[in-house]
Structures are given as structure tokens and as C-alpha cells.
């Protein structure tokens, strides 16, 4: 359930950046998952693919970096590192 | 970078605001509206389930939430087995209870140490607590890991269990594998008792409310997988009676549906409700921990839910040890489940409260209708009522202070949006 709202949040940011950059399409997304973010890369991917359907990021490749450092200052967080647009 | 594309660095922190938003309207120092918006994805999955084979319901619904997938698996199995007239054998029921213990531990420990404790200790998050109290956070992580180990062993992997099926499991574990968990569970039981002592010493706001508590109740055990639906106002129904008792209404301010009793009453689900209705079913050490923490017959201060959650962690470890010790390998990890078209009902106790599933299945075994009521959706009305009562005398406080108080009050219910350290978009309209 939290994944769903998470993806919605992320997607609205992706859409805002894409619009700001006057991009037609988002072709790639890079994400960083903190060690305490309690989501696996695989599960994140599934929700991402489902959540992006019909959006500007539909079909985009996804690169997920999963940190295992629980002392990292952002260990509980998920970061949208960057996007690739056309 | 491929041709015609550009890379844009963002480094945007997701999960800061989540989907939680609270709208307060204050007129002449009076609170006239407190509306909480919570996004509620089970609707999306209900649509997704239509036309799917009835045997797929547990695995599909388990994807709804990475924090409580076992709850979705168990409620879906309960509903489909109810439909098909299957009652699982005692060894299967025990293994399912053990799996559920694993999830309660994971979810409660995550909530206590990572999300709620920072509020009470005055830290922005657990990472910051760890700087001053590294042993505390380390204990939390090790406790959670013990829960993960149970889920991984029975479910086949840590986060999304894949070993559960209608009628039981694909594969039952080896006795030796379960016994290998024993030493860590022993340590964890002691650490869980320490956790109860530690959180019960926190300072809590002086705030109590008169709730209608609702939870399952089982003839022998503290409720997890099965039981009748009971309330502190005397309701006692089989799970098939859920829809007569709790009904969903659409609230304009939220994408979520709000559940109320047929007469418009607001109910409270979760640890406080389970505790109030099943205190007599606590395991011995969990009861001793509750007594030592000064918890009476019921706890009506929602901020003390962190203490009750810790008591439930003691219970879950105690139960896990009992089930591990009693486990004997058996031949039939799953009972055969023959399709019977009709309507099936299932409810189990997710860490955050009763999770209800209802499915209609046709003669080809396809789902024609699915209804999933997540505990957060039911609790939404009681969260709003808490906020109204709590905020009324505190409206003079600055908005930032109000936000902190509101976040803690909402977190009492452990809604899934609480995954973020600071999730609340607060909008105050003062007049
Ligand atoms: Zn959940």
C-alpha cells in the first residue's frame, strides 16, 4: 500500500521535471533505495512498471541502486537520482 | 545515454510527503473541520482481480503492501477456503500462525523503532536516534531481522512470501530449519520485554477517548488468522456478518472510502482493540510485560499504542517459540481445494487491524467481484475524531508544532503512509 503512494509521489515529480525540461518522453529513471526504506528492488520495479502505465514514463527503463548501509543519513529514504528524457 | 536523449540529475527525496494530507479549518479559535486524506490502493487491486482465477487471489493481493503481505495472503486464503468449504489441518494452521508472528514482528518493530519512537524521543528519524543511542536502534534492527527470518523460512523469501497457497503451503519446512531459529528467538523474546519496559517509560500526552474497539476473537488464542468479529459494545458475529456491521461510505475529501457501523458509529481497529478484547488470551510473558508496564484492562490513550505494540511483539516471539518447539514434520503441506462457486469471506488480524476480504467466484473459477477493506480505511474516521479532540484545546500553537502533534497522532494507527519520517502535508485555514 505504501508502495502505491510512493510511486504516485515519485511519478508526479518525474512528470514535473519532464514538463519543465519540455521533454516528450521519459525514457529512463534512476532510483536509489536506502537500506531502511523497507522495499526490495524487485518489488519497487513491479510497482513502478504498473504505476507508470499510461504516463509520460510508460516503458522507461529503470535502474535501481539498493544501499545496504543502515547508517547512511538517508537510510530510510528513497531518492529519485535522475531521469533520461527525449 | 542514447541518441536524442538527455540526462537530468534530480536527487529528489521521494516519500517526504507521501499521500497523507490533513486539512484543518479553524474559525475564531474553534476547529470546524479536520479532514485527513489517505490514498487507498486496494480499489485498484479489486478491479485487477476481476476475471482472475480464484487460486491467484492470495498472490495478487499480497502485492498490495510490502509491509504486510502476509496479512493479505492470509485473508485471501481464509476467504477462498471459506468459499470452498476447506478447513486446514492443525499443523498447517500452526505454520500459518508462525508466519503471521513473523509479520507482526517485522511490522511492529519497524513501526516502534523506526517511525514512532523518534516522535516520542524528539528526533527527526531513527538514523538520528542511532547517533545518541546506537544500542537501541541496533536492538530494533536485530529484532526485525528475527521476524524477517521467520517470514523468509516459511514464505520462501523475506519481503514477498511465495510459499503460501490455498489449502496450506507449497512446501513445509524441515524441523531442523525451524529449530535453527530458536536461539535468536530466545534472545529476541528478552529484547522484546526490554522494549516494553523502555517504551512504557516514555512521556505520553494526557489524552483518552472512549472507543468502540473491533477485533477478531478466537476461542483459545490471541487472534491472528481466524476468529469471530467482536466489539467492545457487544457485537459478536461470524466474519460473514462483516458487511452488515461495517459499511463503506464515500468521503469527498479523500479518495478513500470510510467505514462506519450501520448506525453511523466510528470504530477503532488495531493493537489497542485486539488488546482490549483479548487481554485474557495474552501469553504469560506478554501478560506479565503488560502488567509491569501498567496497562490495565484496556488502553484508551491512543499514544500508548506503542506500548501495546511492544507487548504484541513479546507475544509474537513467545508464540513463535512455542510453535517452533511443537513443530513435527508432516506429509500434506496443503489440503486439496475444490472449486465451489459462490461468495467467500475472510478476515485476519493484520498488524494494523482487521483486514477483510470478500470474493464472488463463478463456476469457471473466475473472480467476478472482490472487496478488500484495509484497516487503515476503517481507522480513518477514528483518526479524524482523535485529531479533532486532541487539537481543540491546542489551536493556539504554531502550525509547525501542530503538524508534529498531528503526525504522532496519525502514526498511532500505523497507516501505511507512515513509511515516511515526515509525511504530513498540513494545510491550516484560519479565520
Ligand atoms: Zn500494509
CB-CB neighbors (< 8 A) of B374 in chain A: 1
Mutate to test the interface with B, among A5, A13, A49, A86 (most CBs of B within 10 A): A5
Say if B156 is an interface residue toward chain A (CB within 8 Å).
Answer: no
Q: Does residue B72 contact residue B64 with C-beta atoms inside 8 Å?
A: yes
pLDDT band of residue B362 (cuts 50, 70, 90) is very high
- Give me B92's grid cell: 498447517
A78 phi and psi, to 5 degrees?
-125, 130
Q: What share of chain A is helix, strand, coil (3-state, %, to 5)?
A: 35, 25, 40
Q: Does residue B254 contact residue B36 with C-beta atoms inside 8 Å?
A: yes
End-to-end C-alpha distance for chain A, whole angstroms: 31
CA–CA distance, B231 with B374 (Å, rounded to integer): 18
Q: For position B71, what pLDDT does the model report?
A: 95
User: CA geometry: angle at B320 spanning B315 and B324, to 5°?
Assistant: 155
- Give me A38's grid cell: 523497507
Residue B4 and residue A71: Cβ atoms within 8 Å? no
B257 forms bridges with which residues in the sheet?
B250
Chain A closest-CA separation from residue B278 CA (Å): 27
ipTM of the predicted structure?
Answer: 0.83
Of A43-47, B59-63, B87-91, B409-413, highest mean pLDDT: B87-91
Residue A39 and residue B14: Cβ atoms within 8 Å? no
Least confident segment among A16-30, B31-45, B398-412: B31-45
Q: For position B35, what pLDDT does the model report?
A: 83
Q: For position B16, what pLDDT does the model report?
A: 46
Higher pLDDT, B317 or A8: B317
Which of B194, B239, B201 is closest to B345 using CA atoms? B239
Residue B8 and residue A70: Cβ atoms within 8 Å? no
Say if B152 is an interface residue toward chain A (CB within 8 Å).
Answer: no
Q: For position B421, what pLDDT does the model report?
A: 46
Q: What are the pLDDT digits (tens) for B1-40? A: 566 888 888 887 765 444 567 888 888 878 888 888 775 6
pLDDT surpassing 80 at residue B425: no
CA–CA distance, B313 with B100 (Å, rounded to integer): 12
CA–CA distance, A52 with B431 (Å, rounded to integer): 40
Report the separation in Å between the CA atom of B115 and the middle of ligand 1, taken as the mean of its atom positions.
Answer: 14
Buried/exposed B207-246: b ≥16 CB within 10 Å, e otherwise: eeeebbbbbbbeeebbbbbbbbbbbbeebeeebeebeebb
Say if B299 is an interface residue toward chain A (CB within 8 Å).
Answer: no
Q: Grid coordinates 521533454 are at which residue? A: A23
Which residue intervals of B327-421 are DSSP H helices?
Answer: 375-391, 399-411
- Give me B161's grid cell: 512470501
| Beta-carbon contacts below 8 Å between A and B | 129
Q: Give the mean model confidence (pLDDT) for residues B367-384.
A: 91
Q: Give the mean model confidence (pLDDT) for residues B75-96.
A: 97
Burial of residue B123 (CB within 10 Å: 0-12, 13-18, 19+) is middle
CA–CA distance, A16 with A19 (Å, rounded to integer): 5
CA–CA distance, B224 with B238 (Å, rounded to integer): 15
Mutate to test the interface with A, among B7, B14, B137, B415 (most CBs of A within 10 A): B14
Residue A3 and residue B66: Cβ atoms within 8 Å? yes
Nearest chain B Cα to A13, which residue? B12
Residue B18 and residue A81: Cβ atoms within 8 Å? no
CB-CB neighbors (< 8 A) of A47 in chain B: 63
Q: Give the mean model confidence (pLDDT) for residues B358-372.
A: 97
Q: What are the pLDDT digits (tens) for B285-335? A: 999 999 999 999 999 999 999 999 999 999 999 999 999 999 999 999 999
B213 forms bridges with which residues in the sheet?
B268
Say if B162 is an interface residue toward chain A (CB within 8 Å).
Answer: no
pLDDT surpassing 50 at residue A52: yes
pLDDT band of residue B197 (cuts 50, 70, 90) is very high
Q: Which of residues 23-42 of B touch A (CB under 8 A)?
A: 39-42
Strand (E) or helix (H) holding B93: helix B90-109
Nearest chain A Cα to B255, which residue? A5
CB B427: neighbour CB atoms within 10 A? Answer: 12
Amino acid at each position: 500500500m505504501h508502495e502505491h503512494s510512493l510511486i504516485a509521489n515519485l511519478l508526479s515529480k518525474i512528470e514535473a521535471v519532464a514538463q519543465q525540461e519540455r521533454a516528450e518522453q521519459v525514457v529512463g529513471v534512476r532510483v536509489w533505495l536506502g537500506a531502511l526504506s523497507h522495499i526490495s528492488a524487485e518489488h519497487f520495479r513491479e510497482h513502478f512498471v504498473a504505476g507508470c502505465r499510461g504516463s509520460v514514463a510508460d516503458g522507461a527503463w529503470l535502474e535501481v541502486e539498493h544501499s545496504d548501509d543502515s547508517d547512511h543519513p538517508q537510510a530510510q529514504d528513497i531518492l529519485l537520482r535522475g531521469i533520461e528524457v527525449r | 545515454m542514447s541518441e536524442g536523449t538527455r540526462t537530468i540529475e534530480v536527487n529528489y527525496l521521494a516519500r517526504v510527503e507521501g499521500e497523507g494530507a490533513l486539512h484543518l479549518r479553524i474559525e475564531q479559535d474553534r476547529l470546524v473541520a479536520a479532514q485527513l486524506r489517505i490514498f487507498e490502493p486496494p480499489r485498484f487491486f479489486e478491479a485487477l482481480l476481476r476475471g482472475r482465477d480464484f487460486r491467484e487471489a492470495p498472490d495478487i493481493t499480497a502485492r498490495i503492501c510490502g509491509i504486510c503481505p502476509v496479512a493479505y495472503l492470509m485473508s485471501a486464503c481464509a476467504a477462498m477456503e471459506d468459499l470452498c468449504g476447506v478447513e486446514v489441518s492443525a499443523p498447517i494452521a500452526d505454520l500459518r500462525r508462525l508466519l503471521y508472528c513473523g509479520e507482526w514482528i517485522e511490522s511492529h518493530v519497524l513501526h516502534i523503532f523506526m517511525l514512532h519512537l523518534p516522535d516520542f524521543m524528539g528526533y527527526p528519524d531513527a538514523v538520528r536516534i542511532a547517533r545518541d543511542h546506537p544500542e537501541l536502534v541496533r536492538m530494533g534492527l536485530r529484532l526485525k531481522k528475527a521476524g524477517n527470518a521467520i517470514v523468509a523460512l516459511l514464505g520462501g523469501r523475506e519481503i514477498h512470501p511465495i510459499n503460501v497457497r490455498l489449502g496450506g503451503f507449497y512446501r513445509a519446512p524441515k524441523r531442523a530449519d525451524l529449530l535453527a531459529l530458536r536461539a535468536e528467538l530466545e534472545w529476541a523474546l528478552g529484547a522484546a520485554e526490554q522494549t516494553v519496559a523502555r517504551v512504557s517509560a516514555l512521556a505520553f500526552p494526557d489524552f483518552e477517548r472512549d472507543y468502540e474497539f473491533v477485533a477478531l476473537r478466537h476461542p483459545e488464542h490471541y487472534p491472528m488468522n481466524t476468529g469471530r468479529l467482536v466489539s467492545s459494545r457487544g457485537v459478536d458475529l461470524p466474519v460473514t456478518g462483516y458487511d452488515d456491521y461495517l459499511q463503506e461510505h464515500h468521503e469527498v475529501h479523500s479518495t478513500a472510502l470510510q467505514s462506519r457501523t450501520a448506525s453511523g458509529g466510528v470504530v477503532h481497529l488495531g493493537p489497542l482493540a485486539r488488546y482490549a478484547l483479548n487481554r485474557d488470551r495474552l501469553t504469560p510473558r506478554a501478560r506479565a510485560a503488560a502488567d509491569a508496564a501498567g496497562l490495565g484492562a484496556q488502553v484508551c490513550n491512543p499514544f500508548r499504542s506503542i506500548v501495546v505494540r511492544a507487548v504484541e511483539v513479546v507475544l509474537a516471539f513467545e508464540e513463535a517459540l512455542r510453535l517452533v518447539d511443537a513443530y513435527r514434520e508432516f506429509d500434506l503441506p496443503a489440503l486439496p481445494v475444490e472449486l465451489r462457486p459462490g461468495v467467500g469471506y475472510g478476515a485476519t488480524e493484520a498488524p494494523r487491524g482487521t483486514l477483510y476480504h470478500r470474493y464472488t467466484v463463478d463456476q469457471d473459477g473466475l473472480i467476478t467481484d472482490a472487496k478488500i477493506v484495509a484497516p487503515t480505511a476503517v481507522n480513518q474516521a477514528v483518526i479524524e475524531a482523535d485529531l479533532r479532540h486532541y487539537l481543540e484545546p491546542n489551536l493556539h500553537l504554531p502550525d509547525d508544532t501542530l503538524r508534529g502533534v498531528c503526525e504522532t497522532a496519525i502514526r498511532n494507527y500505523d497507516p501505511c503512509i507512515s513509511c515516511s519520517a515526515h509525511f504530513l502535508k498540513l494545510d491550516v485555514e484560519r479565520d
